Structure 1
Amino acid sequence: MYNDPRAAYMDASVATASPARLLVMLYERLVLDVRKALAAQQKADHAEAHTQLVHAQDIVLELRASLDVEAWEGGPGLASIYDFLHLQLVRANINRDAGATEGCLKLVEDLCATWREAALAASQVA
């Protein structure tokens, strides 16, 4: 079984979460990664910033890959946002650009808040 109660809790949370909740959880992790990357860049901890930015890039690529652009009218626009965000995260990492990372953070915070609101609204309708 689990020696780490936190890991067990996280596994159970993910296994029982609705698709909307899973999406919000993924966005929350994306926000966390970009915040940690920005803090690391501000401390000139380039290795930590790289690790966080690469993980953030992986999340954005997963969000993009799982997006069905034909499923709703906003799909193509969201795909473009994901493509832009991924490019900016790569640039922020390569150029060690805290300003670019800060711009990405504002974008992912807004996206996270929007999806959180949408998930809450959907849960109240159901």
Structure 2
Amino acid sequence: MIASSAYKAYKNTLANTTDDRLNIIGIMYDGALSYAVKAKEAIENKNILEKVYAIERLNSILLALRNVLDVKNYPEAGKFLESIYDFLLLQTLKANLNNNIEEMEVVIRYLQKMSEIWNKDVLKK
């Protein structure tokens, strides 16, 4: 699986860091997933303020995850993950503009899988 090998390569990027940093990324995935679910629920409930808040937080986390990628030293894995984050940001924008639950569900599915891969292949949970 490409995603799994990308994460393994990305883990090597972080080899000189502490386990805390690896755990922080896992926490960021969990936070992003939580805000994506909250955004979906807010869209369903037509709660604009909650939707905007959740999407702002989700986008902040996705941008932070994207910005810590080491594309210079690990171009293949970095570019792969960068494209996923860009896709998720675009999907979130579309879901926000269109109040579209299905588009937000795509974001949720991706984040669930990414979190699962991170926990299984990187953190070995």
Task: Return the TM-score normalized by structure 2.
Answer: 0.78
* Matched residue, 1:78: 81
**Aligned mates of 2:61, 2:89 — CA distance in 1:** 9
| Consecutive unaligned residues in structure 1, runs of 5 or more | 1-15
Counterparts of 1:98 and 1:83 in 2: how far apart (Å)? 19
How much has 1:17 moved relative to structure 2? 6.2
User: Aligned pair 1:111/2:114, yes or no?
Assistant: yes
Name the CA distance, whole Å, in 2 between partners of 1:51 and 1:82: 19
Q: Conserved in 2, the CA contact under 8 Å of 1:46 and 1:96?
A: no
Structural RMSD (CA): 1.8
SS in 1 for 2:123: helix
Distance 2:51 2:105 in 1: 12
Equivalent in 40, 44, 57 of residue 55 of structure 1: 57
Among candidates 30, 36, 51, match of residue 28 of structure 1: 30
- Measured in 1, the distance between the counterparts of 2:73 and 2:119 equals 19
Partners of 1:32 and 1:81 in 2: CA distance: 18
Range with greater deviation from structure 2 (34-43 or 67-76): 67-76
Higher relative CO (CA 8 A, sep ≥ 6), structure 1 or 2? Answer: 2
1:46 equivalent in alignment to 2:51: no
Q: After the TM superposition, which parts of structure 1 deviate over 6 Å for at least 4 consecutive aligned residues?
A: none
Identity of aligned residues (%): 28
AA in 1 matched with 2:56? V
| Aligned length in residues | 107
For 1:8-56, what per-residue CA distance to the aligned partner results, in whole angstroms no more than 9, with x for missing partners? xxxxxxxx96111010001000000001111111111122111101110
User: TM-score normalised to the size of structure 1?
Assistant: 0.78
What is the deviation of 1:118?
2.5
Q: Gapped runs of 5+ residues in structure 2?
A: 1-17
Supply the distance in 1 between the matched residues of 2:99 and 2:56 (Cα, whole angstroms): 13
